[in-house]
Amino acid sequence: MYDIIVIGAGAAGMTAALYAVRAGMKTIVLEKMGIGGQITLTEAVENYPGFSFISGPDLMDKFEQHIKKFGVEVAYEEVHEVKLGDGSHVVVTDDNEYTTHAVIVATGSNPRKLGVQGEEKFIGRGVSYCAVCDGPFFKNKDVAVIGGGDAAIKESIYLTQIVKKATIIHRRDKLRAEKILQNQAFANPKIEFVWDHVVDRVVGNETFEGITIKNVHTDEIREMKFDGVFVYIGHIPNTKFIDVNKTSNGLIITDDCVKTSQAGIYAAGDCRDTCLRQIATCVGDGALAAYNAGEYVERVKSGYV
C-alpha cells in the first residue's frame, strides 16, 4: 500500500513526488516512457526563474537529480486504469496493480496532429512535431512551421539556427505567442509568415514534397514546396485512463487546490484544465497536489474520511 502514487514524471510529477516524499509519504512515480516529459523536447527555456537560459533536457536532468537525492521511487510502467475506491484506489499497469490512498495525475499531453491527408504517411519522413529531435535533418533546407503559439514561435526561432528558412503558417492574422517571442520572430530574417491559412493536405508520392494550404476566408488552395513541416497546434491530454470530470477536450477539471471530482484524486500540469501551461505552473501544481494529497492521506489514516 502506497500513500501516494504519482502518474507521470514531467515537471509536475517530479515536483509532486519530491514534496510527497519530503512530507513522509510512501510514494512511487509511474512513468511510461522517460523522465522529463514534453519539456525534454524544448531546446531553450528562458522563463523559468533562476535560469536565464537552459535547455529543456538539462533542466529536467536537474529535476531528476533532485528527486533521486531524496530517494523517490520510479517505475517505468504504463498506467491503463485507476480503479476508484473508498479511501483507497488501485492503479493498474501492464504488469502490476498498485494500491494507494491518493493518486496524483501528472500525465501531460501529446502533440495534436493536423488530421489531413498525407500526414500519417510522412510522419518521420517530412512531418515532425519536435524541432529539437528532427531539426538537424533539415540543415540548410526550407521548412514550414504550423501554429502561432509559444511553442510554434519558440521552435521556429530555434530552427533558424539550422535551416535555410522557416515559414510560419498561422490560421489567424496575428500570433498568440508571448510578446517577447513575437518580437524575436519578427526581427529574424530567416522567418517568414503566411497569415490566415491552414494546412489542407501533405503532398508527396514516395517522398515528402510540401503542403497545400487553404485561405480561411476565401477557401482558395495553393501548394507550397518545403523540405519538411513542423506542427505545433496544441496538445491532447493523456487522461483516458481515469474516470473524473473532464472538459470536452479531455482536460481534468479541478478546484483551486487541484482536487478532482473524486476523493483522493488530484491533477497537476498540462493534463489539468488551467489557463496557463508553463514549467512554472506545472511545478506549482505539483506542490499543491502533493500537499493536498498528503493532507487527505493523513485524514484517511486517522479515520476522518
Active site residues: 130, 133-134
Residue showing cell 499497469: 93
> Which positions ≥6 away from 32 have C-beta within 8 Å?
76, 77, 78, 79
Are residues 114 and 128 in contact, defined by beta-carbon separation less than 8 angstroms? no
Give the Cα separation of 120 and 128 in Å (integer): 10
Q: How far is C-alpha 60 from the geometric centre of its chain's CA atoms?
A: 13
How far is the CA of 84 from the CAs of 92, 132, 197, 291, 298, in angstroms? 11, 39, 45, 21, 18
Pairwise CA distance, residues 213 & 206, whole Å: 20
Where does residue 90 rank: exposed (0-12), middle (13-18), buried (19+ CB within 10 A)?
Answer: middle
CB atoms within 10 A of CB 50: 7
